[in-house]
Amino acid sequence: MWLSGKRGNPVPVAKVKTFYWQGPLKRNNKFQELMSVRFRRLLSGAKDGVPPWLEVIAAGDEPGLFTPDDAPWVVHADFGTLVGGIRALLVQALHPGTLRGVSEHSRYEEDALGRLAGTIRWLTVTTFGSHKAVAREAARVNGMHKRVVGSYDTNAGEHRAYKAADPDLLLWVHIAFMESFLVCHTEYAWRPIPGGADAYIAQWSKSVEPLGLTNVPMSEATLKAEIARCLKADILRVDDRTRDVVKFIKYPPLPPVAKVIYRLLFDAAVVSLEPEYREMLDLKPAPRWIVKPATRLVLRAIRWFIGPESPIEDAGRDRLIRIGAWTPTGA
């Protein structure tokens, strides 16, 4: 059987019996399809623009953690994540343990886009994939985490051994991405979040259970309280290693056109940071009254340029309809 990697260009997918289209049939025009392929090639690393994990999301005869009516699905399908991902990396770099893991074990300098593709794979498979797909993706990530071990000095002067699977490090990474996606969706995206911030935080907590993390914030209030605790406990810091990583995040190796857009997205990420984060990172925000509307405009423009088709999200929706696990409104 076949599943469309992008509409009109099928790729084989095992165990898919029927292919369903979602809502009004909107296709990319030729220009949008060209832009869409380039955009997906940049984010996934696939030369043909079809993410290698598309088939993983499409296949299977079971639901996943979320449906299109759930908050994580809505947030992660929107383009606020383009800003949220940058913001999350800045926040993640504030913890000396997670920073040491990234700087010593990540290939971010040699293969920044490859590392990005790996993160996008985990995020999209966990959001849109089946339970089996989520479990396999978690196993892939857990396997990589086993190799990430080392030591770092805390702010209290303690020389502490770490491994990537340590609950405190997993929790900070979880908080960095969750809070950043939530904040940037609120600031720069346009789809309302079903159930609001509390629903997103509580539902997305399921994503890290397969990684071994179970004690996490379950509401916006507890999320803010945990961040305040980390700040008060003097866990976070900025040193030369932090500044090197932040410099790389600010000036990554991108194609010329992408660099122009990325600069605005970086400014948007900085504007959305908490004042305490900005002060620690020594990042001066551009005027919010300029950055916010400009970012919203650019994200809408990107959406138009790459067209209405969304292969990854469509694959997840079509699997749910095929197995009878979800019915679109008005169907």
pLDDT in tens, 68-122: 999 999 999 999 999 999 999 999 999 999 999 988 887 677 777 778 889 999 9
Q: What is the mean pLDDT of residues 7-34?
A: 56
Does any domain span residue 330? no
Does any domain span residue 66? yes
Please, which residues have CB within 8 angstroms of residue 301's CB and are 6 or more apart in sequence?
none
Q: Provide the pLDDT for residue 197.
A: 98
* 35 pLDDT higher than 80: yes
Does any domain span residue 331? no
Provide the residue type at 16 as one letter. Answer: V
Task: Centre a 10 Å sphere on the Cβ of residue 255 and count the other Cβ atoms it contains.
Answer: 10
Does any domain span residue 28? yes
> Which is more confidently placed, 106 or 326?
326
* 57 pLDDT higher than 50: yes
* 311 pLDDT higher than 80: yes
Q: Domain range holding 168? A: 2-322
45: left (phi over 0), alpha (psi -120 to 50) or beta: left
Domain count for the chain, please give it: 1
When pLDDT is cut at 50, 70 and 90, the band that residue 25 belongs to is low
Does any domain span residue 328? no
Pull the structure tokens for residue 267: 């400014």
Q: Provide the pLDDT for residue 322.
A: 96
Q: Provide the pLDDT for residue 8.
A: 38
Q: What is the mean pLDDT of residues 249-271?
A: 95
When pLDDT is cut at 50, 70 and 90, the band that residue 10 belongs to is very low
Q: Provide the pLDDT for residue 63.
A: 98
* 34 pLDDT higher than 60: yes
Q: What is the mean pLDDT of residues 320-324?
A: 97
For residue 94, the 8-state DSSP code is: T
Answer yes or no: are the C-beta atoms of 74 and 191 closer than 8 Å.
yes
> Which strand (E) or helix (H) includes residue 290?
helix 288-306
> Which is more confidently placed, 10 or 318?
318
pLDDT, tens digit, 9 for 90 and up, residues 127-151: 999 999 999 999 999 999 999 999 9
* 9 pLDDT higher than 60: no
Q: What is the mean pLDDT of residues 324-329?
A: 93
Rounded Cα distance between 327 and 69, Å, is 10
Q: Provide the pLDDT for residue 114.
A: 79
Q: Tell me the torsion sign for CA atoms 295, 297, 299, 302.
A: negative
Does any domain span residue 150? yes
pLDDT, tens digit, 9 for 90 and up, residues 152-163: 999 999 999 999
pLDDT, tens digit, 9 for 90 and up, residues 185-234: 999 999 999 999 999 999 999 999 999 999 999 999 999 999 999 999 99
Q: What number of residues does the chain have?
A: 331
Name residue, tokens 């770092």: 152
* 18 pLDDT higher than 50: no
Q: What three-state secondary structure class fits 159?
A: strand
pLDDT, tens digit, 9 for 90 and up, residues 164-193: 999 999 999 999 999 999 999 999 999 999
Q: Provide the pLDDT for residue 7.
A: 38
- What crossing angle do the helices spanning 240-250 and 96-105 adopt, rounded to 10°? 60
Answer yes or no: are the C-beta atoms of 244 and 100 closer than 8 Å.
no
Q: Provide the pLDDT for residue 214.
A: 94
Rounded Cα distance between 306 and 228, Å, is 39
pLDDT, tens digit, 9 for 90 and up, residues 273-289: 999 999 999 999 999 99
Rounded Cα distance between 179 and 118, Å, is 20
Q: What three-state secondary structure class fits 28?
A: coil
Does any domain span residue 196? yes
Rounded Cα distance between 59 and 260, Å, is 37
Does any domain span residue 327? no
Rounded Cα distance between 83 and 188, Å, is 8
Say what percent of the chain tops pLDDT 70.
92
Distances (CA, A) of 138 to 44, 51, 127: 18, 18, 12
